[in-house]
Amino acid sequence: MLQLASFWTLYFGLHSLLATTWLKEAVARQWPSAARFYRLFYNQVSVWGFLLILRYQNQLPETQFFTPSLLALGLGYALLATGVVVAVAALRGYDLAEFAGWAYVRRGSAAANVPLQTGGFNGVVRHPLYLGVGLGLLGFWLLAPTGPRTVFVGCNLAYLLVGTRLEERKLLTRFGAAYARYQKQVPQLLPLKGRNLTSR
């Protein structure tokens, strides 16, 4: 389990490093013609790295800590389904071509010139995609609480909290006062207060 936790920790550390603005700018200065492919490269490394560690994880012996009751199974499926619905709804509020990196290949740095999105689920929490993933992970664990799955879910949830903070800093730099106002009006991850922003 310790080795698995180390793999996930290294993965998320690399994921965060590649997402830093200073590294992207350094690559753009060193290889200007390759800068438009950076986001696409970043996503490919993220996806294949994730799948590689997941394949290793699936080969580990799995013994459940306890047998989930019908209530736990029901709650697990409910959280998993809710997480998927929230994540899909959140993705609909994004420019998926920009999110995946293809927009940068076609338009270069101009692809990043999109306004701050505060409509839809973004008017409920500032990071609805992270909320959906978090709910899904909790449901996934409840369905089969094994050692490898506990490490996987624990590392992913820890990274969601760290990644949210890192993302907040980048968004503040990118959108400035508009994002600062948004922070005061809409909660970060948990919808603890009503929506008070209109789409713009």
Given a contact cutoff of 8 angstroms between Cβ atoms, the answer to whether 118 and 187 are in contact is no
**pLDDT, one tens digit for every residue, the chain (200 residues):** 889 999 999 999 998 888 888 888 888 888 888 888 888 888 899 999 999 999 999 999 888 888 889 999 999 999 999 999 999 988 887 776 766 666 777 766 655 667 788 888 888 899 999 999 999 999 999 999 999 999 999 999 999 999 898 889 888 988 899 999 999 999 998 887 654 444 33
Cβ neighbors of 33 (< 8 A, separation 6 or more) are none
Query: What residue spans define the domains of the chain?
Result: 2-185
DSSP 35: G
Task: Tell me what pLDDT residue 10 has.
Answer: 93
Cβ neighbors of 92 (< 8 A, separation 6 or more) are 120
Given a contact cutoff of 8 angstroms between Cβ atoms, the answer to whether 117 and 174 are in contact is no
Residues belonging to the chain: 200
Task: Tell me what pLDDT residue 156 has.
Answer: 94
Task: Tell me what pLDDT residue 67 has.
Answer: 87
Given a contact cutoff of 8 angstroms between Cβ atoms, the answer to whether 107 and 158 are in contact is no
Task: Tell me what pLDDT residue 77 has.
Answer: 96
